[in-house]
Chain A
Amino acid sequence: MTLDGFESGKTARIVAVDWAVLAVDEGKRLKALGVDEGAEVAILHRGVFGGRDPIALRLGNMTIALRRAHAHAIAVEPA
């Protein structure tokens, strides 16, 4: 299952990230923010337009915004 399809509000554990489909700087930024294998995240909010894009994630005490396309590259399992 990928993060974009994960139920909002439930905690997910990241099992793998497909770095190859992400631009180099985007990968760097996600890693720097801690969006990486093993991290636990929860979807807090979704935008209103275009398939409910972008997505706001909770990671630790931070809120991180990313696009559905990024979330699609992140494989998760229920934590």
Chain B
Amino acid sequence: MTRRRSAALVGNPNAGKSALFNALTGARQKIANYAGVTVERKAGRLILPSGEPVELLDLPGSYSFDAASPDEEVTRQVVHGEFETETAPDVIVLVLDAANLEQHLVFAQEVLELGRPTVVALNMIDLAERDGLTLDPEALSAALGVPVIPTVAVRRRGLDELNRAIAEAESRAGEANPSHWHLSLPERRLAAKHIARGAILSKSARHTIENGVDRLLLHPWLGPVILFALLFIMFQAVFAWATPFVDALEGGLGGLADGVKGALPAGLPRDFLTEGVLAGVGSVVVFLPQIIILFAFILVMEASGYMARAAFLMDRLMAGVGLSGKSFIPLLSSFACAIPGIMATRSISDPKDRLTTILIAPLMTCSARLPVYAVIIAAVIPSTTVGPGIGLQGLVLFALYVAGVVGAMVVALILRRTVTKGAASGFIMELPRYQLPRLKDLAIGLWQRGWVFLRRAGTIIFVATIALWILLSFPRAEPGESQLDASFAGAVADGLHPVLEPVGFNREMSLALIPALAAREVAVSALATTYAVDAADEEVAAEGVTEKIAALWSLPTALAFLAWFVFAPQCLSTIAVARRETNGWKWPVVMIAYLFALAWIFAGLTFWIATALGL
């Protein structure tokens, strides 16, 4: 029996493993979790020059086999063949940052000590050259006893040579197995220094660009100003740049609905397609452009190395509420989606710190809430400008995001003094080198995220929308009676309404909250479906959900609905991830309870204050 051979990328964080992984496997990637732990497993297929496919694993970056985080523990176990559901890789591809040899050779020695078939990818050799380093791969190969291939993942340099070396690695194994390893850490460090010196042919005294750029971006007061400006631009862009694409999508969907109406006779099947499927799923899909733009900003910040600087800048503020700059990265990711955000908390080594971050992650406004905000804002906030280039709608959106952040900070402060009490956490991290993000890596990242969103639209949202349509459409109304009043959904909303009426919600809103538990963005499709089903005549039904809200909701009601969504518990998937990450129902229940309480209180406050102000 021939088993497919496997290889694994191993190396320090920031060695450029992910870029190399993308370059080697292209879009043939599968992202999942390692069994039983919540460490992301990235696997792809590499095609050797012989045409033989090899399963390539991108293992989490590690500084040492003496693991200080769950990520590092996974790498250690997989490489040692101790991870139950993973076979040890046949070939190890050890990725070293060419400009950071002395540092990366410390862990490299630990990997080489294993005596497994290994190939070294001397990565980012172009950045080393930019820094004025000239390296001798052959000298390095002689010192390490394994092939060394200079690579520039982002420019596909050295990939063919690397593939060839991977193909030959197993037959070469044992050729040169240095027996002088098995050293202590100080000895290893000394050896690393020695080997690195031997591999560096020349070193000009040129300063790295990091120094200059960091002097600006980490400047004591300019740094935070730049960070804040960047985040502000990000949220303005989400609104402004997406508009033409959203309009085009809406136009296409409208045309599709008209086509269906023309092709099918009036009746339930046609209503199902236009009012149920197209009105519901369509109203969510139109937000794809905004989600892509938001993710593009986050991916660029991550790939360029700026995200770690943001963590540095935010550390002191986060320390003020008992967290560290490390929490900033998961929390910023939560703006896109709380699920990867909560999963990213794995990089936080302090357990109480991590738990607190998980509990407040849902307060970061995720992209799924964006459709809800966008529809309501477009409906009730005038599209005027309040200054050069600053739209009022964008400003309100920004305020909603700020409300979530402030809420999260206050909640963190309270949690750290009560349920997650403990010693203040530390902050130690490497600030990676700056790099120009590569378009292909960005495209792969956006494709993966966009696909996840569309899949949700095609599955969870599709099912929730149809279920809601059925609840809304049956039993059929008697002539003269409103369909909403007659339906099952109307009865459910009536039951919920007494709780939500005090905070200004109308019945359609109470109704929309039920399916929104499956996924936030369903609230919009639910409103769209509700209004489409309830429309007395075709003309009213043809209006978009935005126009309906503008016509039917008062401003205090709309603002209360927005406030509700700032705080209300997120989708079921988030709760499921929180359960998995905290190993039990205790913390997810705490999370749901406090979020519902906050949502009700703040929706109420917003409604009462707005009403009192006569808005």
A56 lies within 8 A of chain B by Cβ:
yes
Known contacts A25-B349, A45-B218, A69-B426; is-contact A64 B316 (Cβ 8 Å): no
Known contacts A25-B68, A47-B313, A70-B426; is-contact A60 B220 (Cβ 8 Å): no
Known contacts A47-B316, A61-B208; is-contact A56 B431 (Cβ 8 Å): yes
Decide if A61 touches B100 in the complex (CB within 8 Å).
Answer: yes
Decide if B317 touches A60 in the complex (CB within 8 Å).
Answer: no
Decide if B63 touches A63 in the complex (CB within 8 Å).
Answer: no
What are the interface flags for B302-345 relative to A under an 8 Å C-beta threshold, 1 for contact and 0 otherwise?
00000010011101110110000100000000000000000000
Residues in B neighbouring A30, C-beta threshold 8 A: 428
Known contacts A61-B131, A64-B431; is-contact A28 B66 (Cβ 8 Å): yes
Chain B, residue nearest A57 (CB): B431
Chain A, residue nearest B215 (CB): A45
Decide if B223 touches A48 in the complex (CB within 8 Å).
Answer: yes
Decide if B211 touches A64 in the complex (CB within 8 Å).
Answer: no
> 8 Å CB contacts to B: which residues of A20-74?
22-23, 25-26, 28-34, 36-38, 44-50, 52-54, 56, 59-67, 69-70
Chain A, residue nearest B101 (CB): A61
Q: How far apart sit A63 and B317, CA to CA, in the bound complex (Å)?
A: 21
Decide if B211 touches A54 in the complex (CB within 8 Å).
Answer: no
Q: How far apart sit A7 and B320, CA to CA, in the bound complex (Å)?
A: 26
Chain A, residue nearest B63 (CB): A32
Q: How far apart sit A38 and B325, CA to CA, in the bound complex (Å)?
A: 28
B103 lies within 8 A of chain A by Cβ:
yes
Chain B, residue nearest A30 (CB): B428
What are the interface flags for B179-192 relative to A under an 8 Å C-beta threshold, 1 for contact and 0 otherwise?
00000011001000
Decide if A26 touches B189 in the complex (CB within 8 Å).
Answer: no
B62 CB to nearest A CB, Å: 8
Decide if A50 touches B316 in the complex (CB within 8 Å).
Answer: yes
A65 CB to nearest B CB, Å: 5
Known contacts A30-B428, A33-B428, A34-B189; is-contact A50 B319 (Cβ 8 Å): yes
> 8 Å CB contacts to A: which residues of B157-195?
185-186, 189
Decide if A33 touches B430 in the complex (CB within 8 Å).
Answer: yes
Decide if A65 touches B325 in the complex (CB within 8 Å).
Answer: yes
Cross-interface CB contact of B315 among A25, A32, A36, A53, cutoff 8 Å:
A53
B99 lies within 8 A of chain A by Cβ:
yes
Known contacts A53-B316, A53-B319, A54-B325; is-contact A66 B221 (Cβ 8 Å): no
Decide if B223 touches A34 in the complex (CB within 8 Å).
Answer: no
Residues in A neighbouring B102, C-beta threshold 8 A: 60-61
Residues in B neighbouring A49, C-beta threshold 8 A: 316-317, 320
Known contacts A26-B428, A36-B189, A56-B214; is-contact A65 B315 (Cβ 8 Å): yes
Q: How far apart sit A36 and B430, CA to CA, in the bound complex (Å)?
A: 15
B16 CB to nearest A CB, Å: 14
Q: How far apart sit A31 and B67, CA to CA, in the bound complex (Å)?
A: 12
Decide if A60 touches B349 in the complex (CB within 8 Å).
Answer: no
Q: How far apart sit A70 and B325, CA to CA, in the bound complex (Å)?
A: 15
Chain B, residue nearest A67 (CB): B427
Chain A, residue nearest B189 (CB): A34
Residues in B neighbouring A52, C-beta threshold 8 A: 220
Decide if A61 touches B214 in the complex (CB within 8 Å).
Answer: no
Q: How far apart sit A70 and B426, CA to CA, in the bound complex (Å)?
A: 8
Q: How far apart sit A63 and B64, CA to CA, in the bound complex (Å)?
A: 18
Chain A, residue nearest B326 (CB): A65
Residues in B neighbouring A53, C-beta threshold 8 A: 315-316, 319
A44 CB to nearest B CB, Å: 7
Chain B, residue nearest A22 (CB): B426
Decide if A33 touches B427 in the complex (CB within 8 Å).
Answer: no
Q: How far apart sit A46 and B426, CA to CA, in the bound complex (Å)?
A: 16
Decide if A66 touches B428 in the complex (CB within 8 Å).
Answer: yes
A42 CB to nearest B CB, Å: 10
Chain B, residue nearest A27 (CB): B68
Known contacts A34-B103, A53-B319, A61-B100; is-contact A47 B428 (Cβ 8 Å): no
B224 lies within 8 A of chain A by Cβ:
yes
Chain A, residue nearest B423 (CB): A23
B429 lies within 8 A of chain A by Cβ:
yes
Chain B, residue nearest A59 (CB): B103
A28 CB to nearest B CB, Å: 4
Residues in B neighbouring A22, C-beta threshold 8 A: 426
B199 CB to nearest A CB, Å: 14
Cross-interface CB contact of B64 among A28, A37, A45, A69, cutoff 8 Å:
A28
Decide if B426 touches A65 in the complex (CB within 8 Å).
Answer: no
The winner among A38, A56, A59, A67 for most chain B CB atoms within 10 A is: A67
Known contacts A44-B211, A52-B220; is-contact A64 B428 (Cβ 8 Å): yes
Decide if B316 touches A63 in the complex (CB within 8 Å).
Answer: no
Decide if A50 touches B426 in the complex (CB within 8 Å).
Answer: no
Decide if B214 touches A45 in the complex (CB within 8 Å).
Answer: yes
B144 lies within 8 A of chain A by Cβ:
no
Decide if A65 touches B428 in the complex (CB within 8 Å).
Answer: yes
Q: How far apart sit A65 and B10, CA to CA, in the bound complex (Å)?
A: 23
Q: How far apart sit A8 and B393, CA to CA, in the bound complex (Å)?
A: 44
Decide if A32 touches B220 in the complex (CB within 8 Å).
Answer: no
Chain B, residue nearest A28 (CB): B68
Apart from A29-B349, A49-B316, A53-B319: 5 A-B pairs, beta carbons within 8 A = A28-B64, A28-B66, A45-B214, A47-B315, A65-B431
28 contacts between A and B (CB under 8 A): A26-B349, A28-B64, A28-B66, A31-B64, A32-B68, A34-B106, A36-B186, A36-B189, A38-B186, A44-B211, A44-B214, A45-B215, A45-B312, A46-B220, A47-B313, A47-B315, A47-B316, A49-B317, A53-B319, A54-B325, A54-B427, A56-B218, A56-B431, A65-B325, A65-B427, A65-B431, A67-B426, A70-B428
The 4 closest A-B CB pairs, nearest first, are: A32-B63, A48-B220, A49-B316, A63-B431
